[in-house]
Amino acid sequence: MLKSNLPARTVVDSDFAMLNERLAQHYGLPPLEGVTVHKVALPKGSVRGGLMTQASVLSVTANGTTTSPVVRGVWIMERILGKAPPPPPPSVPAIEPDTRGAHTIREQLEKHRAQQSCALCHTKIDPAGFALENFDVMGGWREQYRAMGEGTSPPGYGKNGQRFAFHAAQKVDASGELPNGGGTFQDIRGLKDLLVKDETQIARNLTSQLITYGTGAPVRFGDRAVVEQILQSTAADGYRLRSLIHALVGTDLFQSK
């Protein structure tokens, strides 16, 4: 993004990904050769591109065993949109996944949102997280959840040398509706289309992240006017990353903080 001065919306969606041989295989993309990570054009309609669908992000927002729309939804709100949700009430327990596959995480969260104290936050957090449910704990693509217990296991062996113990469970539903009339989507492609409509907010958060990184301190109330000034000066250019940095380093905030 920096070398090519790409627009801020690239953090949400791009027509390329940074890949090597093993990542391309993991993503189910056309084969590459070599271990060097480099820019690769994505096939039209690919679910990859941007930060949200990188295996690194998808892995750290899962616990190694199960995925959570809540954790991934919070990550998108905080890191992409710059809208941190309030912490959960201390008396509300975390949702435990149904390893039998009888109930999906969506069904469990619907019951969770029935509690008034939970509904306000979860209607904002969950939708974006649902869009990433097609990605498993390692960022690979899936159409169905895995479950333990009775069922027909797929052929093959795991890394432990034992036959697979899981079986295919319910189909993944990655659809959702963003709050406050933000629109509906069917999968991650649709979510990206909705998010990039508000380029200014994406650029605002990216600018705030750059300020935090460059000054070692978060953006405070008194700094917001500087952020808006940077956005105004780079809007005509499409909020390109190098342009944002140039505008930032010229401010008193960067030079004196």
State residue 166's pLDDT score: 74
State residue 99's pLDDT score: 45
| Structural domain containing residue 216 | 199-256
Bridge partner residues of 146 (DSSP): 168
Tell me: do 173 and 236 sit in the same domain: no
CB atoms inside a 10 Å sphere around CB 161: 6
pLDDT, block means (10 residues), the chain with 257 residues: 96 97 96 96 96 96 88 94 80 56 65 63 84 95 83 75 77 92 95 97 97 94 96 97 97 92
Tell me: do 188 and 232 sit in the same domain: no
Please say whether the beta carbons of 82 and 201 come within 8 A: yes
Judge whether 213 lies within some domain: yes
Q: Of 195, 220, 245, at which residue does a domain stop?
A: 195
Tell me: do 81 and 107 sit in the same domain: yes
Tell me: do 163 and 176 sit in the same domain: yes
User: Six-digit token pair at 161?
Assistant: 């040398």
Q: How far apart are CA 18 and CA 139, in angstroms?
A: 14
Q: Of 195, 213, 247, at which residue does a domain stop?
A: 195
State residue 96's pLDDT score: 59
> Residue 231: how many CA atoms within 13 Å on its side-chain side?
18
Please say whether the beta carbons of 202 and 80 come within 8 A: yes
Tell me: do 72 and 152 sit in the same domain: yes
Tell me: do 174 and 239 sit in the same domain: no
Judge whether 16 lies within some domain: no
Q: Which residue has the tokens 């892995």?
A: 59
Q: How far apart are CA 78 and CA 133, in angstroms?
A: 18
Judge whether 147 lies within some domain: yes
Judge whether 210 lies within some domain: yes
The DSSP 8-state label assigned to residue 252 in this structure reads H
